[in-house]
Amino acid sequence: MTALVRDPIPLPSRPGGPPPAALPAGGAASLALRPVLDPARRPARVIAVFPTAVYLELRGDREPRVVAVVTSDAVRLPNAVVIAAARRDRPFRRVREGAEAWVGDGRAEAEGLHVKVRRWWDPVPALGSLSRAALARGVRSVENSLAAAGMTGGGLAGHPDPLQLADRCAAGDLAGAVEAAERIVGLGPGLTPSGDDILSGLLVSLRLVGGALREGGTAGWLADWLGAAVTADAGTRTTALAATLLHCANEGGAGAEVAAVLRCVAGHESSAPAVRRLLAVGHTSGADLAWGVLAGCRATLALAGRATGESRAAS
């Protein structure tokens, strides 16, 4: 990938908008963004600018609505285009919040930002095949690492609904799980409220761990219903970024830090370093995501055990 230059040089005008103020930089884009990056350019706007990330919101209701352009050392969200420049290079110093932007034709552009997609990466981690015994070992390892790292309850600590959501999922109570999930959509402050981070972690673990487990069909079924419920009107109940992340999670898309913890659950990585990286995400986002991932893994294990017991009883 090509890094952004420090001193942008104006480019010739292009149809449909003002000229970008920087030379093209190469980016590696999540496959989740293909539906919005491959088609013709569409108008967007810059909804937030940080030293490590710029968020572009597309007009219309099609998801993903938010494209994250991030530095190489930023949190890698499942809707990200990653550029080679690091935070110290200050690649977004000329990008203004509220400015017009464009996404499409393999590019993400705004004044001070011109990124062309050079390659793609898959936000859905491959977990392979899991037995119940291997999943139980992986869950214990992550639990121990979270305890050793001093994980707290996250942004909704003490709130009854996340606990009820976890209990209803583990019990296979679809109606109760959906009711609890719908109550925490958009709950909490910030660009990604705590309730949405919990739901994203829960959805992605139910879908991916359930898909890797031989007896995980019930977890996948639960993910289908929960995902449909929380994404149906997420665009009107939470922030644009959080709604996009819920849609990504519903498709199995995970940020790099979440994906690493899921690989730990599957026994492919050591859990302690991955857990520390996840807990360092945001103010409470890392803890909220970890809480949701763990709840989803525990529910998958409980549902698989119940399904196996019922199968034995039937025979």
**DSSP helix/strand/coil, 48:** strand
- Tell me: pLDDT of 68 over 70: yes
- pLDDT at 299 (0 to 100): 98
Looking at the chain, list the stretches that DSSP marks H as alpha helix, in order from N- to C-terminal side. Answer: 34-37, 132-148, 160-171, 174-184, 194-212, 217-231, 234-237, 240-250, 256-265, 271-279, 285-314
Rounded Cα–Cα distance for residues 160 and 75 (Å): 29
CB 102 within 8 A of CB 110: yes
- pLDDT at 20 (0 to 100): 43
- pLDDT at 193 (0 to 100): 97
Q: Where are the domains of the chain?
A: 25-121, 132-314
- pLDDT at 24 (0 to 100): 62
- pLDDT at 206 (0 to 100): 98
User: Which segment of 2-6, 121-125, 246-250 scores lowest on mean pLDDT?
Assistant: 2-6
Model confidence at 22, pLDDT cuts 50, 70, 90, reads low
Rounded Cα–Cα distance for residues 66 and 33 (Å): 9
- Tell me: pLDDT of 14 over 50: no
- pLDDT at 310 (0 to 100): 54
Model confidence at 21, pLDDT cuts 50, 70, 90, reads very low
Residue type present at position 229: A
Asked if the bond preceding 64 is cis, omega within 30° of 0, the reply is yes
- Tell me: pLDDT of 224 over 50: yes
- pLDDT at 315 (0 to 100): 47
- pLDDT at 307 (0 to 100): 61
- pLDDT at 153 (0 to 100): 79
- Read off the pLDDT of each residue in 54-58 and give the average, rounded to a whole number: 98
Which of 105, 124, 146, 115 lies closest to 16, judged by CA? 105
Task: Tell me the per-residue pLDDT of 91-128, one tens digit each, with 9 for 90 and over.
Answer: 999 999 999 999 999 999 999 999 999 999 999 999 99
- pLDDT at 309 (0 to 100): 56
70: left (phi over 0), alpha (psi -120 to 50) or beta: beta
CB 156 within 8 A of CB 187: yes
- Tell me: pLDDT of 261 over 60: yes
* DSSP H/E element including 26: strand 25-30
Rounded Cα–Cα distance for residues 282 and 264 (Å): 21
Q: Hey, how many other C-beta atoms are within 10 angstroms of the C-beta on 12?
A: 5
User: Which segment of 3-7, 147-151, 245-249, 252-256 scores lowest on mean pLDDT?
Assistant: 3-7
The CA–CA distances, whole Å, from 309 to 179, 260, 263, 296, 315 equal 27, 31, 27, 20, 10
- pLDDT at 152 (0 to 100): 79
- Tell me: pLDDT of 23 over 70: no
- pLDDT at 276 (0 to 100): 96
List CB contacts of 61: < 8 A, sequence separation 6 or more.
235
Rounded Cα–Cα distance for residues 195 and 308 (Å): 32
The number of C-alpha atoms within 13 Å of 311 and in the hemisphere containing its C-beta is 7
CB 68 within 8 A of CB 55: yes
Rounded Cα–Cα distance for residues 68 and 192 (Å): 13
For residue 66 the two structure tokens come to: 């938010």
243 vs 314: which has the higher pLDDT: 243
Model confidence at 8, pLDDT cuts 50, 70, 90, reads very low
- Tell me: pLDDT of 16 over 90: no
User: Which segment of 4-8, 47-51, 99-103, 194-198 scores lowest on mean pLDDT?
Assistant: 4-8
